Structure 1
């Protein structure tokens, strides 16, 4: 295992990464922010970081201690050390290796079981996203079809849905969004949910609007990569992985 990937995981192996176990809601929020801003953290003081997340410095300290660091300066020192390691590995490979070595991968087993129970009575699987997520939604729909499920992709955020209450109670909407805050995605989610659809989301973190609206959320906790101020180029390797795991969990062939 790449040493940079190993040491940057921070969290002890026996610490279960579930919001309601070792981390409080606030600590989980802080943890996710740190993992999503690894390169920026070293430029912040403890107080500045707390202000960025809108929490108290004491909450940040408690969180990093649960991550295995005694002081905030220890966290920054470790990050600076890792940032100085050789950068021969390309960014996509680095992010993918980092992702697959996160303890969060193990938590998917329990979530997939919940997914199977949640969708046990669903006859149709609808996939939705915009931009790159739209293309991945199409990929997800094809994977589900390959594994024997009735699946469709919705590419139009203004797609009309039946107005009858409960008309989508036998359907599951799998929505993809890196940020989980895109208005053109949030509104359709609300519409489908109001008509009875089960909502499963795949987002970068679980601290966003779409994940909180969902019946079940899968997050992958990678540092967001934004270019030209608005273009999100965060690797989508985790999304493909999650979609394939979900499709095969329901394999009826």
Structure 2
């Protein structure tokens, strides 16, 4: 609701108004404009100017936006872990996920190097994936810095495994674009096969679970990603045993 650019545009009076609204949002959502002006010691003209900076035509529209914002940030009732896992198995394992994992594993066995990327909780799992793959004989590296230099010999005939719940991470998309231009094959594991990352991948493995958010943090279960990574790594190990 309050973006960086909007907050930066506030003058001193508007900033004091912003601070009051943040601390008393549920109260402000039901106030009249004159009541808010009296509480914050600013004019109604200042409040209307404040509302226009949030692209609201007036105070009434601002209150509607504020109520929606409050509703979105109400405490989430978390699903049980059993529910999330069951949802994954019911939705995904009835599809072609096994075929996609086998195709991805086959692609990895033909590559000279494997690069994992991700950010946030996906970054933690990307690091885990690189370690797990390496433990089973497919040496992998995890890159978390977009400016990290990757030598051309690692980019040549490489496979990049991208992890992202939304499939819309700006960091990951930017990095994938560069690696793709350098000739790396892209395997992505996302929650949505229609996301940007999925679309630019050579192989996408979607897992379809309901996303969960708590206080602006994405707390969607990562159990499906663990399952996919470990299954792929074991399939790669079997393929390498056959090849050797």
Using the size of structure 1 for normalisation, the TM-score is 0.59
| 1:102–1:189 distance in 2 versus 1, CA, 3 Å | same
Runs of 5+ consecutive residues of structure 1 not aligned to the other structure: 1-88
Q: Which is higher, the Rg of structure 1 or of structure 2?
A: 2
Matched residue, 2:155: 168
Matched residue, 2:135: 146
1:8-23 alignment, distance < 5 Å? none
Tell me by how many angstroms 1:101 deviates.
Answer: 2.3
Tell me by how many angstroms 1:201 deviates.
Answer: 0.4
Give the secondary-structure state (helix, strand or coil) at the position aligned to 2:231: helix
Provide Cα deviations, 1:212-249, integer angstroms capped at 9, x if missing partner.
01000011111111122x31100000000000011011
Tell me the number of residue pairs that the alignment of Structure 1 and Structure 2 aligns: 162
User: For residues 219 and 176 of structure 1, what CA distance do their matches in structure 2 show?
Assistant: 10
Is residue 237 of structure 1 aligned with residue 226 of structure 2?
no
Is residue 180 of structure 1 aligned with residue 167 of structure 2?
yes
Provide Cα deviations, 1:88-141, integer angstroms capped at 9, x if missing partner.
x95222111221222545512211232233334202111110111111011101
Matched residue, 2:86: 97
User: For residues 169 and 221 of structure 1, what CA distance do their matches in structure 2 show?
Assistant: 32
The 8 Å contact of residues 116 and 249 in structure 1, kept in 2 or not, is answered as yes
Give the secondary-structure state (helix, strand or coil) at the position aligned to 2:159: strand
User: For residues 143 and 90 of structure 2, what CA distance do their matches in structure 1 show?
Assistant: 32
Matched residue, 1:126: 115
The 8 Å contact of residues 169 and 197 in structure 1, kept in 2 or not, is answered as yes
The 8 Å contact of residues 106 and 236 in structure 2, kept in 1 or not, is answered as no
Matched residue, 2:193: 206
The 8 Å contact of residues 167 and 190 in structure 2, kept in 1 or not, is answered as yes
RMSD over equivalenced CA pairs, Å: 2.0
| 1:217–1:103 distance in 2 versus 1, CA, 3 Å | closer
